[in-house]
Copies of this chain bind each other. A is one copy, B any other.
Amino acid sequence: MTEKTSHATVDDVAALAGVSTATVSRCLNAPDRVTAATREKVMTAVRALNYTPNFGAKALASKRTGIIGAVVPTLENAVFAHGVDAFERALAPGKFALLVASSGYEAGREKRQIEALVARGADGLLLVGFDRDPAIYDWLALRKVPYVLAWSSGESHPYAGFDNLSGMAAMVGMVLELGHRNIAMISGITSGNDRARDRLEGARSAMAQAGLSFCGVREVAYGLESAAGAFSALMADRRVTAVICGNDVLAAGALRAAHGMGLRVPEDVTITGFDDIDIAEITWPQLTTVRVPHSRMGEEAARLLQDLIAGRPGESVLLATELVRRGSHAAVAGAGILP
């Protein structure tokens, strides 16, 4: 019994319980492989010594850490905060813990974060989108680290996401049905961001299907201010009656700019969002947007990744998006269609 200043070890527990260290280990990791009586003895010793297994030793010997890593662009974006939160809750409690890193939307930083997470022994990884240096996927494969891509469909990789393309196409379809013909779009930065790109593409294809194209498209950084600026610029074209936004924050910024310009929403201009985060219900009018099941997605991603880690096959899931009609859309003035 090393009862000086250091902590109790398996040896201490084994000695006190009068069994071998192997038995102590089994009691803790596979209780059913041990007699109830000995289990009792061991657990008593564990409690008496206030024993906690040493993490490093356990990881070294078992080649598993129980740590799962997640790299998201930023937690400041509610979309990721919610998804990660749901993901974390869906991890088998006590078995896995979540290591979170943010990339700030920088590819280089994301790569470093992934390496850092793997270096810290992550048993698996949650990544956002599939648009990244192929070398990263090769490296992950080489290292045999399972991963799940979320927030988009992952092409050939395992994923838990949704179809940004069709979600946005549906939204544009609705706006078209409302009679709008002069439509502009405020998109997120598409470079290195397949979600933004798919949304833009989906919107464009819906327009094309109606034989139209956007009056104007602006790619702006995530944030109220940049969206507000883009909105004013876009509305310089007086014909525009609807502005499609790549996400709710952009839409909220556009909405604010509209108020500032004295425009009534939706009477003068229709503004739509994407994501359906909390703010969609706080703006005035409330945002018409595309609901994305962020929490559900987080759960599915957790399930899938845990399957993969356990060596089970695991199936990717593509969740459905849903149009949420609130107050920021209306039929184009002079057109007699849906309210």
Contacts and interface: CB of A to CB of B under 8 A. Distances in A.
A67 interface: yes
A281 interface: yes
Contact of A81 (B75, B283, B284): B75
A57 B55 contact: no
5 contacts: A54-B60, A67-B99, A81-B81, A224-B281, A278-B279
Contacts of A59: 55-56, 59-60
A116 B97 contact: yes
Contacts of A58: 56
Interface size class of A (residues with CB under 8 A): 35 or more
A179 interface: no
A282 B75 contact: no
Give how many copies assemble into the complex.
2
A100 interface: yes
Contact of A67 (B78, B82, B120, B281): B120
Contacts of A282: 224, 252, 256, 279, 282-283
B120 A66 contact: yes
A293 to B, nearest CB: 14
Interface string A59-88: 111010111000000111010011011001
A101 B61 CA distance: 25
A3 B55 CA distance: 28
Given A66-B120, A89-B104, 14 more contacts: A55-B120, A59-B59, A59-B60, A60-B60, A67-B99, A75-B85, A75-B88, A88-B102, A97-B117, A98-B99, A224-B282, A279-B279, A282-B283, A283-B283
A174 interface: no
A52 B99 contact: no
Interface string A102-116: 101000000010001
Contacts of A97: 99, 101, 116-117, 120
A98 B100 CA distance: 6
Nearest to A121: B55
Centre residue among A60, A89, A117 by max chain B CB count within 10 A: A60
Complex A-B, nearest 8 residue pairs according to Cβ-Cβ distance, in ascending order: A56-B59, A56-B60, A55-B121, A81-B81, A75-B85, A284-B284, A75-B81, A100-B100
